[in-house]
Chains A and B, each alone.
Chain A
Amino acid sequence: MLFTDHFVEVDGCRTHYRRAGKGTPLVFLHGAGGAPQVLPFMERLAQRFEVLVPDAPGYGQSDEPAWLENIHDVAYFYLDFLAALKLEKALIVGTSMGGWMAMEMAVRNTSRIASLVLVSPAGIRVEGGASGAEPADIFLLSPEDMTRKLFYDQKYAEARLAAPVTPEGIDLQLKNRHTTARLAWEPRLHDPMLPKWLHRIDVPVAIAWGKEDQILPVAIAHELKRLLPQAELTLFERCGHLLVQEKAEEFCDLVERFACK
């Protein structure tokens, strides 16, 4: 399935997105690393859905608007993005930072949202300092350590570390990192106000998490399930933070099954 590149201006932000496939709209919200390339899970999902992969404001090929100050700005932006593209009954799939954005959207307005799939999302923290529930300090890890911690199966990390480094690639990484810091530096990777309003999410929610996630430990998954009792929680064995890559087939099965419900 061939993805095509598009740009749309939303809230004064020239926004890049990729699109492929036909059917129910599925909007994939990327994580801290952005969505610099089309990955196998996107190809497969595009056989069943109309898949849209936007670069969030401040990420990838999208603008860095002056108004971008916090995660709430991103939530309102993405709601406007759904409206601008006239998407109805969209399936929102978000991983990590993108999962956080999906929740922030859905507590505000679900009129264009059919359901949410949250893949090891940021956004909440486990209160009380439970051991093993603290996220990794993604801003202090060296690039190599960060890459290794993203995966359970180190062959993915090796492949990523062996990939050639280009000046454009570095620019993109620094841009994405800057925006992630802007949104998630403090409070770190979560919004303390979010749990108060999670009950407003009135669409079906699926949560997927890798049991060996070293960025956002699986203890957070159980806390999220407690806060979203109606959600269905699936844990993946021998899987790290980048579940969409490490368990691409199983993940796509889950999305397809969940969307049919």
Chain B
Amino acid sequence: MQIVLFHLMPYADLDLAEGRKNGTVWVTLPNRNFDPEKGHKLYNRYLDELEYGEQLGFDVLAVNEHHQTAYGLMPSPIVTASALSRKTKRVKIAILGSALPLRSHPLMVAEEHAMIDVISGGRLITGFVRGIGAEYHTFGVNPTFSHDRFREAHDLIVRAWTEPGPFAFHGHHYNVQYVNLWPRPYQKPHPPIWIPSQGSKETIDWAAHPERRYTYLQTFSPVKVVQRYLKSYRDTCTGHGYDAKDSQLGWAVPVYVGETDASARAEAKQHFEAFRNVYVRMPIEMLLPPGYTSRESLKNVMKAKAQMFGDVTIEQAIELGLFVCGSAETVTKAFEGYWGEMRFGNLLVMCQFGTLPADLTRANMERFARGVLPRLKALT
């Protein structure tokens, strides 16, 4: 199995009471709550943590994109991935992903990713996402065109990476007379493409299509939901007449490894609960604007609203498999068990979450790297 160290780079210095009072740390939390001096320290701390991941033996370092929120301070994962591409030598670097419909020109994404791929000597893993619902509020992009723009932007990017330029591209949302990318990507035909998602059927169908076979990542969901969607991805591949490779599946999950189960829970509790109950929280109207999902999916979420939008304790989260926490032995056994059931070829672990401070994050990474990572890497 390939093990990915995934970082959200949250604003860990957030005044949690302010976040709670506002009801969400997305879209509407006034940016006077962001202190640039604290931000300076956080960015450098987080980049150090990712770079340390290479030393500890992780296969991939992953960053992602979120806008106007304390949940993650990476409106441009290009910036962080660029920094990593120079500071690291061996690991792959994953951008999970660039939010295509939010970008006014997909060629910029094609160019930036190609640059990082060339600078890093072919170590880039590209990811494409639509951005989460809240980002359609912050950016003003019409969510009812989200899927259309995503697919068309993707087509333009992949053609720009693979077809000899110059050529003309005429789409519904994007029109370019001269597509002629400088630089072309280092990897042939192009960097691997991963698709992180919360499980929309449209996304699974699209990613699993035989022309694409993109690696599908289920992000931060109860393990039953992860199982359902990874199975749905495999079934969709079968429906297309081929078997999904394990490398086409991934799961992104926060992890905390302590000396013992009890100490792990005690150390992680307030930081995980801040993550789940403050940083992640938003009203349904913000999470799912019209057209972002099908109306059927929206109705299902409305039905599950009480469960999804209420507070969750660390104990409940561990029970749900929303969080994997315990001694190295407990965490290893848990992942071995989940792997046996789901056979995901990529595990993305978030070793920092919410307010988890630097010392606990490092200790967590080290215990994971020493006691868990070697045995999980050996799973094939």
Residues of A that sit less than 8 Å from B by CB: 139-142, 170-171, 174-175, 177-178, 180-182, 185-186, 188
Contacts and interface: CB of A to CB of B under 8 A. Distances in A.
A182 B142 contact: yes
Contacts of B289: 139, 181, 185
Contacts of B141: 186
B47 interface: no
A142 B144 CA distance: 19
B299 A174 contact: yes
A188 B143 CA distance: 13
B300 to A, nearest CB: 12
A-B pairs, top 5 by smallest CB distance, nearest first, are A181-B290, A182-B144, A185-B142, A178-B290, A186-B140
Interface residues of B, number: 19
Nearest to B136: A185
Given A139-B137, A181-B290, A171 B295 contact: yes
Contacts of B140: 185-186, 188
A140 B285 CA distance: 5
B318 interface: no
B286 interface: yes
B298 interface: yes
B165 interface: no
A188 B137 CA distance: 11
B283 interface: yes
A140 B23 CA distance: 13
A72 B310 CA distance: 42
A186 B137 CA distance: 10
Contacts, number: 48
A251 B65 CA distance: 50
A234 to B, nearest CB: 33
B291 interface: yes
Nearest to A70: B142
Contact of B286 (A140, A181, A185): A140
Contacts of A175: 295
Nearest to A139: B289
A139 B289 CA distance: 7
Contacts of B286: 140
Contacts of B144: 178, 181-182, 185
Contact of A142 (B136, B143, B283, B299): B283
Contacts of A182: 142, 144-145, 290-291
B291 A140 contact: no
Nearest to A176: B290
Contacts of B145: 182
A82 B136 CA distance: 35
Interface in B132-183: 136-137, 140-145
A185 B143 contact: yes
Interface in B210-259: none
13 contacts: A140-B283, A140-B285, A170-B302, A174-B298, A178-B290, A180-B290, A181-B144, A182-B144, A182-B145, A182-B291, A185-B140, A185-B289, A185-B290
Contact of A141 (B143, B285, B298, B302): B285
B283 A139 contact: no
